[in-house]
Structure 1
Amino acid sequence: MTDEPRRFARRRVELCAGECRPHVEDEWRGVLVLVEAGEIELRCELGGRRRFGAGSVLWFTGLGLREIHNPGVEPAVFVGVTRSPPET
């Protein structure tokens, strides 16, 4: 193991079946999102919806999202990855 600083930060979110999570644009700015398990549905402020399954890689900013929903019967897991701020 090295003493090198971490170059990336990870954030794991799990949604139970039928659960919704309000979207906060600033939380996801500059974050690459990977759907790790299950399926998520992105719901837009203007009513549009799109589903993404395990293995999908996407982002949540600039899309006019209202919420992230798990339309399935199994837990949905997505992971956000971003660069860690430089250490001083």
Structure 2
Amino acid sequence: MDRFDRRRITIEAGTSRPHDEDEWRGVLVLVEAGEIELRCALGGRRRFRAGAVLWFSGLDLREVHNPGVDRAVVVAVSRTRSTG
């Protein structure tokens, strides 16, 4: 029985992925490859490179953008949700 769920998400170069707060609640995020830029609703931006460990919830994010020329890969890790 796995205690953690893991998802690998690819963001192609120059593209963005809209942020959904509910999708990222309780999730630890590892930038596995490339670079991402977190873009906040009020215009703030911050870049993170491969090796960064962070979270996306509670940051008022608008989108996750890949500013690089290579694809970015993030791994999302969360506790397995109980079904009973």
Structure 1 regions of 5+ residues with no counterpart? Answer: none
Give the letter aligned to residue 69 of structure 1.
H
Q: Scaled by the length of structure 2, what TM-score is found?
A: 0.97
Matched, 1:73 2:69: yes
What residue number does 1:16 align with? 12
Structure 2 regions of 5+ residues with no counterpart? Answer: none
| Secondary structure, counterpart of 2:2 in structure 1 | coil
The share of aligned pairs that are identical, in percent, is 69
- Partner deviation per Cα, 1:39-75 (whole Å, 9 max, x = no partner): 0000000000000000000000000000000000000
| Secondary structure, counterpart of 1:61 in structure 2 | coil
1: CA distance, partners of 2:11 / 2:82:
31
Q: Scaled by the length of structure 1, what TM-score is found?
A: 0.92
Mark the structure with the bigger radius of gyration. Answer: 1
1: CA distance, partners of 2:83 / 2:57:
26
Equivalenced residue count is 84
Give the letter aligned to residue 47 of structure 1.
G
